[in-house]
Amino acid sequence: MNLDPWVPILVIASSLLPGLIIFSLAENSVRLRTGLNLTGALLNLVLVGWMLWGVYLGHRYEARLALLPDLELVLLADTLSLLFITLSAVLWLVTTVYAIGYLKGSPHRSRFFGFFSLCVTSTAGVSLAGNLITFLLFYELLTLATYPLIMHHGTEVARRAGRSYLVYTIFGGALLLLGTVWLYTLTGTLEFTPRGLLNGMGEEHRPALRAIFALLIAGLGVKAALVPLHGWLPQAMVAPAPVSALLHAVAVVKAGAFGIVRIVYEVFGVEFAAGLGVTAPLAWLAATTIIYGSLRALFQDDLKRMLAFSTVSQVSYITLGVAIVGPVATIGGMVHLVHQGFMKITLFLCAGNLAETLGVHKISEMNGVGRRMPWTMAAFTVGAFGMIGAPPVAGFISKWYLGLGALEAGQGWVIFVLAGSSLLTASYFLPVLHAVWFREPPVCWPKEHHFGLRETAWALLLPPLATAVMALGAGLLAAMPFSPLNWAKLIAAREFYLP
C-alpha cells in the first residue's frame, strides 16, 4: 500500500484533532491539554520533516477528495508548500511552548488552545493546498479560526479589533471567491501548475484575466496587509502576545503573501503575468507599502503597534520579490517568507515578555530594560538588526537577493526602495536599542513580576532565544543544504523558471 497520500492528511489531522479534543476539555485539565498540544506540535514537525526529505528526493505527496462533480480538494506537498509549512511547523512548536507559559492561570484556555490549533491547521492547509479552491477553503477557515484569538481578552478594544479584522477579511474573502469562480469559468481547472496554467489563453481573454488578477490580489492583499488594505493589522495587536507572534510571523499575513506567490507563479505564470502587464503595478503597490509601513512605524510609541507597522512593511518584501520578474529576486522574496517569520516572531515574543514580566508596553518605558532582562533583549536586538538588514542576520540575505534580482531584471528603482526602507527601519529600531542598552533604568517598573534569579519564566525566555538563534543561523549558515536560501533556490529551479 502506498502511504504517501496519507502524509499530508496526517499533517492536517495532527493539529485538527488535538484542537477539537481540547475544545471539550475542562478548564483545569492543564496536563492533558499541554500534553495534547505538545504531542500534536511534535508529530506535526516530524511529519513535515519526513515530507521535506521525501520531496527533496523527488517524492510526491498528494491526496485528493472530490468536492464537486468536476472539482477536487487537493492536498499536495511540493517544494513551495514545504517552505511555508516547515516554517509553520517549527514556529507552532515554539509558540505553543510560549503560549503555555504566557497564559498560565488565565481564563478560557481550552477555547484559546482549541482555536490556536485550528489556526495552525488552516495554515497547514493553506500551504498544502494543491489548487485554488482548496486554498480558498483553508484561507477562509483561517479567518474564522483567528477571529476568536484576536477577541480573546474580551475587552471593548479587543471586540473592535475583532470586528475590524472580520470586515476586512470577509470582504477580501468575497473578492477572492469571485475571482476564483471567474477564473474557473474561463479555464475549467484551478490546479496550481508549475509555470502557470494560463499559457495558451487567447488574446480575447486578456481584459478578463487582468480583472481576475486584480480581484485575487485584492482578496489576498487584505491578509498580506498591502496598503490600503492593511488597516486591521495594527488594531489586531490587542491579541495576546503569542497570537500576535503567530499572526505576524506565520499564520495570517503570510497566508496572504503565500497566496500571492501561488497566484503569480502557479496560476498565471510569471512570464504570462508580466505579459499581461500586471506585475509592474503589483511591484509599485508593494514598494509603496514597504515605505508607508516604515514611515508609520517611525511615529509609534506602543511597542506592539510599532512592530505591527513594521510587519506591514516587511511582508511586502515578499510581494516585491514576486513582482520583480526574475529568478534571483524571486529567491529573495521566497526566502524572506521564512526569514521575516523567524525575526518577527522573536520581536513579538520579546515584546510579550516585557509586558508579562515588567508591565512595559511602550517604547518610552523601555529605558535600560536590557539590564533587567539581558537575554530577552539580546534576542530582541538580533531580531531588530535582522529587520534592518544588517549582516549576518537572515534579513540581510533576503535584501541582498532582492537587490541583486532587481538589478538583474533591470529595475534599479527597487534598490532605492530597499535602501530607503533600511534607513527608515534603522531609524525606528536603533533609538529603541539605544534606550534599552544605554539609558538608565527607572527606579521601578510599571508592573513587575519576580522569577528568582532568572529574568523571567523559562517558557517565556527559551522560545524567543530559540527563534533568535534560528534568525542568526539562517543568515550565517545560508550556504548549507536545507537552509531556507537553498530551498528557495530549489523552488525557483523546480517550479517557477525553466532551467
Partner 1 sequence: MVGVFGDIPWAVVLILLPLTGGMICFLWPGMAKLAGAVTAIAVSLSVAGLGCQLLAHGVYHHAVGGWGAPLGIDLTADGLSLLMLATTALVGLGITVYSLAYFHGEDMVRFWPLWLFLLAALNALFLAADIFNLYVTLELIGLAAVALAAMPGGRDALSGAMRYLLTTLLGSLAYLFGVALLYHGFGSADIAILAVRVESSAVVWAALGLMGAGLLLKTALFPLHFWLPPAHASAPAPVSALLSALVVKASFYILLRLWLTIFNSLAGEVDELFGLLGAAAIIWGSIQALRQPRLKLLVAYSTVAQIGYLFIAFPLAAGAAASVWGATAYLAISHALAKAAMFLAAGNLLHFGGHDRIIDMDRVVQRLPLTAGAFALAGVSIMGLPPSGGFIGKWLLLEAAVIQGRWDLAAVMILGGLLAAAYVFKVLGYAFTAASVSHEPQFVSARMEWSALLLASGAILLGFLAPSVLSLVDIGSPFGIMEVRP
Positions in the binding site for partner 1 (CB under 8 A): 23, 65-69, 111, 133, 136-137, 140-141, 144, 147-148, 151-152, 154-156, 158-159, 162-163, 166, 170-171, 173-174, 177-178, 181-182, 184-185
Say whether 173 sits in a helix, a strand or coil: helix
List of residues 6+ apart from 446 with CB closer than 8 A: 358, 359, 360, 361, 365
Closer by beta carbon to partner 1, 159 or else 494: 159
Q: How far apart are CA 416 and CA 419, in angstroms?
A: 5
CB of 14 to partner 1, least distance (A): 19
- Asked whether the beta carbons of 192 and 266 are under 8 A apart, the reply is yes
Helices 30-56 and 79-102: angle between axes, nearest 10 degrees: 160
Closer by beta carbon to partner 1, 9 or else 295: 9
Closer by beta carbon to partner 1, 46 or else 137: 137
Q: How far apart are CA 93 and CA 89, in angstroms?
A: 6
Closer by beta carbon to partner 1, 68 or else 443: 68
CB of 332 to partner 1, least distance (A): 33
CB of 155 to partner 1, least distance (A): 8
Q: How far apart are CA 91 and CA 71, in angstroms?
A: 33
Q: Give the number of other Cβ atoms within 10 Å of residue 38's Cβ.
A: 15
CB of 255 to partner 1, least distance (A): 15
CB of 240 to partner 1, least distance (A): 12
- Asked whether the beta carbons of 329 and 261 are under 8 A apart, the reply is no
Measuring CA to CA, which residue among 475, 486, 461, 296 is closest to residue 387? Answer: 475
Longest dimension (CA), the chain: 72
Closer by beta carbon to partner 1, 114 or else 221: 114
End-to-end CA distance of the chain: 35
User: Quick one: which H or E segment has residue 223?
Assistant: helix 206-223
CB of 138 to partner 1, least distance (A): 9
Measuring CA to CA, which residue among 345, 337, 369, 372 is closest to residue 435? Answer: 369
Q: How far apart are CA 450 and CA 373, in angstroms?
A: 12
The set of cell numbers assigned to 61 is 505527496
Cα distances (Å, whole numbers) of residue 417 to 286, 341, 422, 428, 450: 10, 21, 8, 17, 44
How big is the chain, counted in residues?
499
Cα distances (Å, whole numbers) of residue 173 to 130, 143, 169, 463: 18, 9, 6, 33
The set of cell numbers assigned to 144 is 474564522
CB of 69 to partner 1, least distance (A): 5
Q: Side chain identity at 282, as an amino acid letter?
A: L
CB of 22 to partner 1, least distance (A): 12
Closer by beta carbon to partner 1, 247 or else 282: 247
Q: Give the number of other Cβ atoms within 10 Å of residue 453's Cβ.
A: 5
Residue where the block lists cell 523527488: 58
CB of 79 to partner 1, least distance (A): 26
CB of 133 to partner 1, least distance (A): 8
Closer by beta carbon to partner 1, 163 or else 205: 163
Closer by beta carbon to partner 1, 129 or else 323: 129
Q: Side chain identity at 429, as an amino acid letter?
A: F
Closer by beta carbon to partner 1, 68 or else 498: 68
Closer by beta carbon to partner 1, 256 or else 463: 256
Residue where the block lists cell 477553503: 137
Q: How far apart are CA 116 and CA 100, in angstroms?
A: 11
Residue where the block lists cell 491547521: 121
Q: Side chain identity at 410, as an amino acid letter?
A: G
CB of 428 to partner 1, least distance (A): 32
Backbone angles phi, psi at 51, to 5 degrees: -65, -35
CB of 482 to partner 1, least distance (A): 34
Closer by beta carbon to partner 1, 166 or else 282: 166
Q: How far apart are CA 8 and CA 24, in angstroms?
A: 25
CB of 164 to partner 1, least distance (A): 12
